[in-house]
Amino acid sequence: MLSVFIYNLAILAAGALVVFGLRGFVSNRHEAMSRLWKNRTARYSFIVLGVYLFVGYVDLFRFPYGEGLNDASPVDVVFSQTTQERTYSAPFARTVVLAADEDPEAAENQVRGLHVLGTDVNGYDVLYNVMKGCSTALLLVIGTMLVSFPVGLILGVLAGYFGGIVDDLVQWLYTTIASIPWLLFVLAFLLVFGRSLFWICLAFGLTSWVELARLVRGETLKLREMNYIRAARASGVSTWRILWRHLTPNLSHVVIITFTLTASAIVLAESVLTFIGIGVQPGGASWGRMLVEAQVELVRTPPIWWVFAGASFVGIFPLVLALNLAGDALRDALDPRD
């Protein structure tokens, strides 16, 4: 019980830290945020992202509930009465779809509630699985960013500011990493260390920092020649203070834009890897896992198409589209040249 309380407290603290950071970022960029809010596509994209983020974040909380839902999340509680049926049913159906050898009388009144996206062949609610996939996607994105962004930001700043041999070494490093096919690297990494969420995040993180390092290096090369940086050096401010207090805060727009675009790539990469059998392990909540199950169910008679539709058009597609549109809008709003 104490461990669950500490876990929930940590999740709550992490969410508060993110909100506090976003509030500080927005408050310092009133003009850019005003331009962003006037963009209708950006508004709708952030609303969609907010829904996915809210569902994924809420699903991370755990508390004791009932006999069969120990350490359940709020999503588990909401779907506790309609999570699983005896067999599968179509979206909005009140009766189950039967196989050829099943007794129709035995299936009467088996559907306990309205399933908006239907149920899969095992009787599990598709909408429930889609919502559970939100928390997996959120953990993958956050876990990957915690690995890749510190590496990309630090190496990019060092290469751009110091130049010379430091710049040569960093460029050699990220050029070497970029020349390795990411799929082969991730495949080999997961085969060696395992397919848990931790190792997937680490594998993604070790291959996704390259683009950020390139962008940060280029921006740092420009910023180090600005007058306020030169004035700080002339006044005797230490190098590390210049990097931390004067240079890094002015790279935040690069980090934010790269975050949104990289997040969409991570969601797609996880789905592809799980679909080909090297992603999230069986039993884990994942849109890629739903696609794996859907490929078998699509060839049934009648075909169970709604599992594929739920994972693709309710889970993956809206989130990836919203992330890409939000990234483009942020790039236009935060571009310092405007």
- The pair phi, psi for residue 11, each rounded to 5°, is -65, -40
Q: pTM (2 decimals)?
A: 0.83
Q: What is the pLDDT of residues 261-293, one digit of tens each?
A: 888 888 888 888 887 777 777 667 788 888 888
Q: What is the pLDDT of residues 171-201, one digit of tens each?
A: 999 888 888 888 888 888 888 888 788 888 8
Helix axes 30-38, 2-27, angle to 10 degrees: 100
User: What is the per-residue pLDDT for 300?
Assistant: 75
Q: What whole-number distance in Å separates Cα of residue 284 and Cα of residue 61?
A: 17
Computed over every residue of the chain, the mean pLDDT equals 81
Q: What is the pLDDT of residues 138-162, one digit of tens each?
A: 988 999 989 999 999 999 999 988 8
Q: What whole-number distance in Å separates Cα of residue 128 and Cα of residue 287?
A: 11
User: Is the torsion defined by CA of 122, 126, 132, 138 positive or negative?
Assistant: positive
Residue 1's SS3 state is coil
Preceding peptide of 303 cis, ω within 30°: no
* Tokens encoding 121: 């062949």
DSSP structure class, residue 309:
H
Domain 126-334 has what CATH class? mainly alpha
Could you give the percent of the chain with pLDDT greater than 70? 86
- The domain ranges of the chain are 2-77, 126-334
